Structure 1
Amino acid sequence: MAITDVAAYAHLSPADVEELGIRLDDLRSEIEASRGSRDANYIRRTILFQRTLDVAARLLVHASASRTGWMAGTAALALAKCVENMELGHNIGHGQWDWMNDPEIHSTTWEWDMVGPSAQWRYSHNFRHHVYTNVLDIDDDIGFGVLRVTRDEPWQRRNLLQPLHNLLLAVTFEWGIARHGLHSEHERATSTDEQLEQSTSFKQKVRRQVLKDYVFLPALSGRRWRRTLTANVTANLLRNLWAYAVIFCGHFPDGAQKFTAEAVRDESRGEWYLRQMLGTANFDAGRMLAFASGNLCYQIEHHLFPDLPSNRYAAIATRVRALCDEYDLPYNSESLLRQFFQAQRTIVKLAVPDRFLVATADDAPETASERRFLAEPSAPGAGLRTALRHAAERKMAQRRSRRRRVVSSLLVPSTFV
């Protein structure tokens, strides 16, 4: 099932893992030492761009008389919300810009344009998800408590409806994230009064957000309130769908591995880095697509260095890919469409009982462990990437052999007595 021994799965010795950790620590130190005005200017320009785009989009929706103007304004508003959600809210909430000591652009003061309070999201995301990425029974982001995305979770009858649950989650993603954050806060609360306080904070944020988007801003538009209301609803829907796609492409495509709690017991710094590299995935993106995704197309780099400035991830990715080549580790990066398709295939596939699935629980695209290599160990010196390639070649050869046997049986004439 899930990986128990990260180093064994990665085909690395303890010395290799330690060396990898040191080199990644050195990379972190290098980036931290080079932060400066260029990075500060980037985030300030991004904030100015996002706020200007938001205002311009709302004015276009209000002032235009045509359907085309409404559509253009709504699309611009959706983009502004995506940038605010991921490049600003998400990344600032990670503390990527805390080193600037700017009280406005700080993880403890920034409140994002989402229904859930940023403070509640920071605990569930920054701690439970990023520290314990893909660790079963600790990281609640594995399926968000709604979807079965690994065979480590026993199949239940309700999983038959998971394609529908998946669609509902995509459409209402900001609400799912908000409830997810509240659930994590309730789990760590020490008293009923504390839980009540957290619920009150959650309800207050929801009230402010709903009133802003669906009451106050439409009311400011006077007789054109319907245009503003529908634009806000549509922009929020598009933002939800895009955020859902970006997150799922980074966490649930083939090769994004899961881990047992035993795997993180007495975990070293190098093992932590290695687990992040094995448990996440990138999607290929140019500068515009990367910006629209909050640079979360570099999910591997983000999980290695969640509090380093996002504008550095593209350069960091080149260095991380080179390390993967050197240590013969896979670097999971494919096109956006391919990663999204693989994630959706896993969700649909795992909606049915395991007895209808072909691959074993230790050797499936979405669920694997170090036991997948027991039957036929890799050659000495071969790393994980080579071992996976050989395993794929063996599977392909077995399929071809089965097809040949089937064809041969069809071609041999039957004997009648």
Structure 2
Amino acid sequence: MRLLPPVNTAHSAVPILTPLSDAPLARDSSEQPAPSSQQTPYPTVTQAPLPKAQSNALAVELNALYEGVMDSLGSDDAKYIQRIYATVVYSELVARGLLAVAGRMSSRRSQIGAWLLGTSILSFSKILNNMELGHNVMHGQYDWMQHPHLNSQKFDWDIVCPAPLWQHSHNYLHHTFTNIVGRDHDVGYHLIRVTDEQPWTPSDRHNMFSTAVLAFGFEWAVAFHDIQISVDEYADSP
């Protein structure tokens, strides 16, 4: 089992698509672009620059999308994330209270019932803390509120991986190089083979077992995730 292998050469893990064409921009020009007979990987990972006209048009669309989203934000969004935060806090308090009194109950059935209920509520609180609260807040999704705690600079979640490390591996690497094998370390987490762009090795026959290990130790995998990235990035540093 290869937990932390060396980083492979970057490849696209997305389907092969037809490259962008300049044909619509060259209708009034005497020069017609030569037809492409060879398909290339996703255009954003090729070396061909995007024509200026298309780049400007894309910028206009993205700016309009950004302004539309920002204009739609308001009190409902602020109340939503504050309710999520309150749910995380109070569900954890209830869960830990149940677990604290479970062993003091008179009957065995009551002890087991209180323990199961407390464990379930605590699991719910942690999942909500990590996936809905921490993930979104540390993405900067609610920075527009200028909340003293619920912002990407100060918030930290209940998980082994510190917020700054996760923001580097997820916000930067994953969302900048999404599905690029060798750059996006979320592709398999160095543990499982999830695309044919990853070189096959004999240990991949145990993918089901590796996936189970990853599921049971997921937060530790997230913590080691950025440590491996740091080792790869700075291995050649003086």
After TM superposition, the score normalised by the length of structure 2 is 0.70
1:48 matched residue in structure 2: 86
Q: Which amino acid aligns with 2:205?
A: L
Is the 2:14–2:179 contact (alpha carbons within 8 Å) kept by the matching residues of 1? no
1:129 matched residue in structure 2: 174
- Cα distance in 2 for partners of 1:175, 1:136 equals 21
CA offset at residue 5 of structure 1? 9.2
Residue in structure 2 matching 1:84, options 129, 134, 155: 129
Equivalent residues in 2 for 1:371-410 (5 A)? Answer: none
CA offset at residue 34 of structure 1? 2.4
Q: Secondary structure at the match of 2:180?
A: coil
1:97 matched residue in structure 2: 142
Q: CA 1:134–1:115 in 2, change beyond 3 Å: closer, same or farther?
A: same
Residue in structure 2 matching 1:112, options 141, 144, 157: 157
CA offset at residue 29 of structure 1? 1.6
Q: CA 1:172–1:10 in 2, change beyond 3 Å: closer, same or farther?
A: farther
CA offset at residue 23 of structure 1? 4.1
2:29 matched residue in structure 1: none
Name structure 1 gaps, 5 residues minimum: 194-417
Q: CA 1:7–1:152 in 2, change beyond 3 Å: closer, same or farther?
A: closer
- Cα distance in 2 for partners of 1:154, 1:190 equals 22
Q: CA 1:151–1:103 in 2, change beyond 3 Å: closer, same or farther?
A: same
Name structure 2 gaps, 5 residues minimum: 1-10, 26-53
Q: Which amino acid aligns with 1:163?
A: M
Q: Secondary structure at the match of 1:106?
A: coil
Is the 1:123–1:185 contact (alpha carbons within 8 Å) kept by the matching residues of 2? no
Q: Which amino acid aligns with 1:75?
A: S
CA offset at residue 21 of structure 1? 6.9
- Cα distance in 2 for partners of 1:14, 1:102 equals 47
Q: Secondary structure at the match of 2:192?
A: coil
Q: CA 1:151–1:3 in 2, change beyond 3 Å: closer, same or farther?
A: closer
Equivalent residues in 2 for 1:133-172 (5 A)? Answer: 133-172=178-217
CA offset at residue 103 of structure 1? 2.5
- Cα distance in 2 for partners of 1:78, 1:59 equals 14
Q: CA 1:191–1:101 in 2, change beyond 3 Å: closer, same or farther?
A: farther
- Cα distance in 1 for partners of 2:154, 2:73 equals 21
1:61 matched residue in structure 2: 99
- Cα distance in 1 for partners of 2:186, 2:23 equals 30
Percent of aligned pairs with the same amino acid: 33
Higher RCO (CA-CA < 8 Å; seq separation 6+)? 1
- Matched positions, count: 192
Q: Does 1:75 align with 2:120?
A: yes
Q: Secondary structure at the match of 2:178?
A: coil
- Cα distance in 2 for partners of 1:136, 1:9 equals 20
Is the 2:13–2:195 contact (alpha carbons within 8 Å) kept by the matching residues of 1? no
Q: Which amino acid aligns with 2:158?
A: D
Is the 1:124–1:180 contact (alpha carbons within 8 Å) kept by the matching residues of 2? yes
Q: CA 1:157–1:95 in 2, change beyond 3 Å: closer, same or farther?
A: same
Higher helix content, 1 or 2: 1
Is the 1:7–1:13 contact (alpha carbons within 8 Å) kept by the matching residues of 2? no
- Cα distance in 2 for partners of 1:56, 1:10 equals 55
Q: CA 1:190–1:29 in 2, change beyond 3 Å: closer, same or farther?
A: farther
- Cα distance in 2 for partners of 1:55, 1:13 equals 62
Q: Which amino acid aligns with 1:177?
A: V
Is the 2:13–2:181 contact (alpha carbons within 8 Å) kept by the matching residues of 1? no
After TM superposition, the score normalised by the length of structure 1 is 0.42
Q: Secondary structure at the match of 2:181?
A: coil
Is the 2:174–2:185 contact (alpha carbons within 8 Å) kept by the matching residues of 1? yes
Equivalent residues in 2 for 1:12-411 (5 A)? Answer: 22-23=60-61, 25-64=63-102, 65=105, 66=110, 67-189=112-234
- Cα distance in 1 for partners of 2:204, 2:142 equals 40
Q: Which amino acid aligns with 2:69?
A: I
- Cα distance in 1 for partners of 2:205, 2:13 equals 26
- Cα distance in 2 for partners of 1:6, 1:20 equals 22
Q: CA 1:106–1:188 in 2, change beyond 3 Å: closer, same or farther?
A: farther
Q: Which amino acid aligns with 1:29?
A: E
Is the 1:124–1:185 contact (alpha carbons within 8 Å) kept by the matching residues of 2? no
CA offset at residue 175 of structure 1? 0.4
What is the alpha-carbon root mean square deviation over aligned residues? 3.0
- Cα distance in 1 for partners of 2:118, 2:22 equals 52
